[in-house]
Amino acid sequence: MTDTNRPADVGFHPGELTVQARAGVAHQADRLSGMLEPVALEGGIAEFLADRTLLVVTGRDAAGQLWTSPLVGPPGFLRVLSDTRLAVRATFPKSDPLSGLAAGQKLGMTAVEFAARRRLRINGTLAVAAGDHLVVEVEQAYGNCPQYIQPRLLAPDHPSPTEPGPIRRGTALTSEDAELVRTADTFFLGTINPERGADASHRGGPPGFVRIDEIGLWWPDYKGNNLFNSLGNLAVDPEAALLFFDFTTGRTLQLSGRAQVEWGQAGRPGDDGHTGRIVRFTPQHVVAGRLLAARQVAHHPYPRNPALTD
């Protein structure tokens, strides 16, 4: 049973509990609720962060729009300052929607090691934002399972320009954007909860697992750890932000819009994970360019990607 004496900002929030109950996994999720308790940034967590070269960040721009963006740096650009404070020595290019990120807001972050299929989600408040120096007061830090992470090796893009070239902004996908989406085996999903803050989540599958139709984008929700952090956020706030990469060229596609979960019969066309859940996303703002300052030098598909069903 969930501990009702926990502080309001600890444990699962109502949106997560609602989705867990509808999916029939409330008991299994409750057994993992301790993952959401405050965790000290020490030991293996600190060592993992010290070696990372990619951090994905979800936050709001100056206009309050939600975006998910990449930050790339050499090993050591993520540094643990204390049990609860993480320093990030990197800056968003001026053309990135999160350039000039304002302090005081909640951020969701994911640090990923694709080659070893490891990921760490970090949620907290941006305490300092000064040039290429960010400091986050961390409230949650927990690992996720390695499922659906495509093993790949990234190398820094040298020389890395301070500005990544032309950036296109708009409200609709171009044919080039659609091709990137249809061939992607990885993307990141940013969501937010009005009371808890932002979250950045990895999504992976076979190329083609993200579909495009006349309404927008949609993808099947696979079986995972039963926490339902992202879908739980969407249950109370439809704001969402997507980040796609072309890892061979550094091309990026950032989408900000609205998402919702559709429940239906398990195994219907497109429900590759046989969960009965698909997520539909309607883009409202588009930023396309080359914001990934790294390039893929090796890649292998995740061996247990679900087969496409349509």
pLDDT tens digit string along 104-144?
999 999 999 999 999 999 999 999 999 889 999 999 999 88
The band of 36, judged by pLDDT with boundaries at 50, 70 and 90, is: confident
Residue 8: predicted pLDDT: 43
> In this model, does residue 290 exceed pLDDT 60?
yes
More confident residue, 177 or 37: 177
Q: How far apart are CA 169 and CA 176, in angstroms?
A: 14
SS3 178: helix
Q: What is the mean pLDDT of residues 76-83?
A: 97
> In this model, does residue 5 exceed pLDDT 50?
no
Residue 17: predicted pLDDT: 95
CB 134, CB 126: distance < 8 Å: yes
> In this model, does residue 163 exceed pLDDT 70?
no
Domain 14-299 has CATH 3.40.30.10: no
Distances (CA, A) of 55 to 65, 145, 207, 297: 20, 17, 23, 19
The residue extents of the domains of the chain are 14-299
Q: What is the mean pLDDT of residues 243-251?
A: 96
pLDDT tens digit string along 182-219?
999 999 999 999 989 999 999 999 999 999 999 999 99
